[in-house]
Amino acid sequence: MASETTDDGRYDFRALEARWLPVWMDTQPFRSGDPKDKRPTKYVLDMFPYPSGDLHMGHAEAYALGDVLARYWIQRGFNVLHPIGWDSFGLPAENAAIKRGVDPRAWTEDNIAQQRESMERYACSWDWDRVLATHRPEYYRWNQWIFTRLFEKGLAYRKPSMVNWCPSCQTVLANEQVVGGLCERCDTPVVKKKLTQWYFRVTDYADRLLDDLGTLEGKWPDKVLAMQRNWIGRSHGADVLFAIEGREEPITVYTTRPDTLFGATFMVVAADSDLAAELAEGADAATRKAFAEYVEGVKATSEIDRLSTEREKTGVFLQRYAINPVNGERLPIWASDYVLSDYGHGAIMAVPAHDQRDLDFALAMELPVRVVLDCRDEDGRPLPDPTVSRVATTGDGVLVNSGPIDGLAKADAIARITEILEKDGKGKTAKNYRLRDWLISRQRYWGTPIPIIHCEECGEVPVPDDQLPVVLPSSEGLDLKPKGTSPLGAADEWLATTCPECNRPARRDTDTMDTFVDSSWYFLRYLSPAKEDAPFDGVEARRWAPVDQYVGGVTHAILHLLYARFFTKVLFDLGMVGFEEPFTRLLNQGMVLMDGSAMSKSRGNLVRLSDQLDTYGVDAVRLTMVFAGPPEDDIDWADVSPAGSVKFLARGLRLAREVASEPNGSSAAGDAGLRAVTHRTVHDVTQLIEGFRFNVAVARVMELVNATRKAIDTGPGPSDPAVREASEAVAILLSLFAPYVAEEMWEALGHSCVARAGWPTVDEALLVQDTVTCVVQVQGKVRDRLEVPPGIGEEELRALALAAPGVVRSVGDGTVRKVIVRPPTLVNIVL
RNA sequence: GCCCCCGUAGCCCAACCGGUAGAGGCAGCCGACUUAAAAUCGGUCAAGUGCAGGUUCGAUCCCUGCCGGGGGCACCA
């Protein structure tokens, strides 16, 4: 005990950690699973980590922030569910296995054990009864179970398609995992490959995923809402049917600008589409050859090159013609790679005058340009002809050269022309989405096996529920090296099975699921992690879910959050949950940087969390994370001071040790000034925490510590009851940020278990101030200050202000024209 | 190219509904303690809010334009 404060006034955080951690591990003050617990519930969730090794600074920040909220709600009397676990399927385990020959399962379990130790030391209020790890069969069997439900509903399906392929990871990637044409994991340029893969039909939920974002307004960061909206990318327009010469079926084209239909001068189909190939068959030999060569070139183009906006437009004329449904004109049909095969219908009507891409193509191929919109600049002057300016006029305007819609403005013209098309059966309003279906199959080992059996007779047959889980076979004897096909294909014994329907020999599906499947519903598994007959318990779900507060990095703003929202809606439709949005409130923390950039070993600016913890202690590191600035801002570790945090914590601890009054007494007779500060601080900190303004809350606690220090040293002294009241408040407030020091303080103050102490009660009467400072301005400049009662009347204050010496001086013999009185804080005199 | 966010002391950051520009911390400086230094404790200095306009009795806050930084989307018809 005596050794816990060193001679120089710092404190011995090692001793505190060694002392309290075993106590907490023993008493488990954060158990949430008692069904008889009558406290209201709150679900606070931290994004679970991948067990890649030890914790890093980013984890430390996120968990410190989440813990502030969890501990706050506990102090407020809630039964808080605050679980943690591991997102433990994924490539690093597999890569370690390939590189060092270790078993992915053993590697993963070792890392989990190591991380768990660090997490325990970090002392977050996690309920250790609920831990889960997604690589364990008792978890991933429910991935398979949910997959089966999706399959039954037609929401999981297999189709051949051009997919994103990472040549380095040797696996397909979801759209969301391709960033700027590069693999988000290894930055290798992604190439296109035609493969048959499993998909989840997220696009069926596009409207709900988009529209329900409205219910999260004000509860999720605007930035994340914007990113999700952007990603789903819904647009409104029309599908228009174009008859094709020499082809039975018309071609449907999607456009957001049906009003410009009279300006269409050609049609373009996606070069890599089946449609283009079919149309090309009717062309002469030279064209067929040119087309074939063009398509080859397109396929060889990397995604990164394809996305370059600097690229010249290229294409091949297919010697075929479409008929414009509104005026019967013949439009030449071209194939080009600037039209995407998997958006809309893979074909467009080109209106070069009013679409920049079409204009670029028209100019490159010397195709006609026809203006059908009279567009004006701000001064009402006509905009230059697009052919000359090489700039398409894409804005609003009045229709010209457009028959029945001449003279109409854009919006009216769209409505009118759509009506006309609809009447003739040649078109209708339509929506489109940037969002694509979620490609979930991976040709890798360390993931959830897809629970499908391929039978020659019966086709794709889901593994019956009572045969789940399909357990991942041991990696022993399997070649895990990426080679483009799943390693599971070589697990002969595992592979061979019988068809559940016809009992004939059949083969298992050899792909594994994207690990984002695992994290799409884990928050539900925490509710009943040991449940053996369902993914989660319905009663527990009604009790706890949805998550009240989710905390994690903005890096998951699109992928994980979109998928989890999708899963939740599917589970809602299955009647398994009663809510459609999984995370009621979301807090995104910023990144921890060093010297202005993200930490990395290669950059040589890596700050090791364990070093920081060894040097400054857990509490100081946590406090530093929280105090550094607003939670969503990045923290530059070079700008902050864990040493300063140590100093502050030592000051707090010293207060508690100096308190000389007995516990549980009344503080009513205590020093009024200090009491006012204490109650004001608790009141303000309460609001600050609820508003995620933790940095300011910490500053307020620092003020309280300073005020208490003064009271002890130069005020009423250590035996005044107000000093005890203030110190106890400091201990409880600090318990959100610095659990070890708070616990030590609490004990010094004669109590035990600060985490469950309860939030201090604010005496409203003590918040009322006797006097406030009123500023008196003349012409907007401060000329005097008055001490006035807060309830002062307007007339009285006006009189006082006009008589104030500073006012009299600066008004001089000027005439007072107007007096603005805002009792009790301000008077402004206008001359 | 389009959309969003942010510019406040040397630094990280506060400032309620438009009403005293400063709460807290870091660094600096001064002092105390020390043989000395570190550490600690006490005190103290510090910007007129990126720039230019506008609205207002009054603007860090609202509006317009520009400059600087960050982020998202980007051949999605």
pLDDT above 90 for A596: no
Tens digit of each residue's pLDDT (9 = 90 or more) over A502-546: 999 999 999 999 999 999 999 999 999 999 999 999 999 999 999
Instruction: Report the percent of chain A where pLDDT is more than 70.
Output: 97
| Distance separating alpha carbons of residues A228 and A689, to the nearest angstrom | 27
Judged by C1' against the alpha carbon of A629, the nearest nucleotide is B13
A304 CB contact with strand B at below 7 Å: no
Residue numbers in A 334-353, CB below 7 Å of strand B: 337-340, 343-344, 346, 348
Tens digit of each residue's pLDDT (9 = 90 or more) over A80-137: 999 999 999 988 888 888 888 889 999 999 999 999 999 999 999 999 999 999 999 9
Query: Å between A204 CA and B5 C1'?
Result: 32
For residue A176, the model assigns a pLDDT of 65
For residue A450, the model assigns a pLDDT of 97
pLDDT above 50 for A64: yes
Model confidence band, residue A309 (pLDDT cutoffs 50, 70, 90): low
Judged by C1' against the alpha carbon of A357, the nearest nucleotide is B75
A232 CB contact with strand B at below 7 Å: no
Query: Å between A781 CA and B18 C1'?
Result: 15
Judged by C1' against the alpha carbon of A309, the nearest nucleotide is B75
A664 CB contact with strand B at below 7 Å: no
| Distance separating alpha carbons of residues A336 and A338, to the nearest angstrom | 6
Beta strand residue intervals within A642-717, DSSP E: none
Judged by C1' against the alpha carbon of A828, the nearest nucleotide is B57
A660 CB contact with strand B at below 7 Å: no
Lowest-pLDDT range of A20-29, A562-571, A639-648: A639-648
A597 CB contact with strand B at below 7 Å: no
Tokens coding A711 = 């009271």
Lowest-pLDDT range of A185-194, A205-214, A452-461: A185-194
Q: Is pLDDT larger for residue A494 or for residue A773?
A: A494
Query: Å between A618 CA and B38 C1'?
Result: 24
Residues A179 and A147 sit within 8 Å (Cβ to Cβ): no
pLDDT above 90 for A191: no
**Which chain B positions have some atom within 7 A of a protein CB?**
3-5, 11-15, 19-21, 23-27, 38-42, 57-59, 71-77
Model confidence band, residue A308 (pLDDT cutoffs 50, 70, 90): low
- Cis peptide bond prior to A451, omega within 30° of 0: no
Residues A208 and A569 sit within 8 Å (Cβ to Cβ): yes
The one-letter amino acid code at A322 reads A
- Closest CA to B33 C1' — which residue? A8
Tens digit of each residue's pLDDT (9 = 90 or more) over A684-743: 999 999 999 999 999 999 999 999 999 998 888 899 999 999 999 999 999 999 999 999
Q: What is the DSSP string of A413-424?
A: HHHHHHHHHHHT
Judged by C1' against the alpha carbon of A341, the nearest nucleotide is B76
- Closest CA to B58 C1' — which residue? A780
In sequence order, the 6+-apart residues with CB closer than 8 A to the CB of A492 are none
Helical spans, DSSP H, in A89-220: 91-100, 104-122, 137-152, 206-211
Judged by C1' against the alpha carbon of A710, the nearest nucleotide is B42
For residue A303, the model assigns a pLDDT of 65
Judged by C1' against the alpha carbon of A822, the nearest nucleotide is B19
Three-state secondary-structure class, residue A771 = coil
Residue numbers in A 549-588, CB below 7 Å of strand B: 558
Residues A806 and A776 sit within 8 Å (Cβ to Cβ): yes
Tokens coding A416 = 């009118």
- Cis peptide bond prior to A546, omega within 30° of 0: yes
Query: Å between A139 CA and B69 C1'?
Result: 45
Q: How many CB atoms lie within 10 A of CB A489?
A: 17
Q: In angstroms, how far is CA A304 from the centroid of its own chain?
A: 25
A357 CB contact with strand B at below 7 Å: yes
Query: Å between A706 CA and B31 C1'?
Result: 20
Query: Å between A816 CA and B57 C1'?
Result: 12
What is the per-residue burial (b if ≥16 Cβ within 10 Å, else e) of A553-577? bbebbbbbbbbbbbbbbbbbeeebb
Judged by C1' against the alpha carbon of A698, the nearest nucleotide is B24
In terms of C-beta density within 10 A (0-12 exposed, 13-18 middle, 19 or more buried), how is residue A320 classed?
A: buried
Tokens coding A43 = 């679900």
- Closest CA to B73 C1' — which residue? A230
Report the DSSP pairing between strands A496-498 and A592-594. unpaired
- Closest CA to B6 C1' — which residue? A633
Q: What is the DSSP string of A699-743?
A: HHHHHHHHHHHHHHHHSS-TTSHHHHHHHHHHHHHHTTT-HHHHH
pLDDT above 70 for A206: yes
In terms of C-beta density within 10 A (0-12 exposed, 13-18 middle, 19 or more buried), how is residue A189 classed?
A: middle
Average pLDDT over residues A146-168: 89
Tens digit of each residue's pLDDT (9 = 90 or more) over A367-409: 999 999 988 876 677 888 898 888 888 888 899 999 999 999 8
Average pLDDT over residues A292-310: 76
Judged by C1' against the alpha carbon of A558, the nearest nucleotide is B72
Query: Å between A619 CA and B8 C1'?
Result: 30
Residues A126 and A119 sit within 8 Å (Cβ to Cβ): yes
Tens digit of each residue's pLDDT (9 = 90 or more) over A744-760: 999 999 999 999 999 99
Average pLDDT over residues A667-680: 92
pLDDT above 70 for A9: no
Q: Residue A200's closest CA among A457, A569, A490?
A: A569
Tens digit of each residue's pLDDT (9 = 90 or more) over A577-595: 999 999 999 999 998 988 8
Query: Å between A798 CA and B56 C1'?
Result: 21
A595 CB contact with strand B at below 7 Å: no
A256 CB contact with strand B at below 7 Å: yes
Q: Is pLDDT larger for residue A161 or for residue A63?
A: A63
Average pLDDT over residues A261-282: 94
Model confidence band, residue A6 (pLDDT cutoffs 50, 70, 90): very low
A794 CB contact with strand B at below 7 Å: no
Model confidence band, residue A310 (pLDDT cutoffs 50, 70, 90): low
A640 CB contact with strand B at below 7 Å: yes
A709 CB contact with strand B at below 7 Å: yes
Residue numbers in A 410-449, CB below 7 Å of strand B: 432, 434
Model confidence band, residue A331 (pLDDT cutoffs 50, 70, 90): very high
- Closest CA to B39 C1' — which residue? A8
Q: What are A244's strand-pairing partners?
A: A322
- Rounded (5°) CA angle A375-A406-A429: 90
Judged by C1' against the alpha carbon of A432, the nearest nucleotide is B76
Judged by C1' against the alpha carbon of A237, the nearest nucleotide is B77
Query: Å between A10 CA and B34 C1'?
Result: 18
A777 CB contact with strand B at below 7 Å: yes
pLDDT above 70 for A613: yes
For residue A1, the model assigns a pLDDT of 36
Tens digit of each residue's pLDDT (9 = 90 or more) over A784-815: 888 888 888 888 999 988 888 888 888 888 88
- Closest CA to B16 C1' — which residue? A684
pLDDT above 50 for A5: no
Judged by C1' against the alpha carbon of A827, the nearest nucleotide is B19
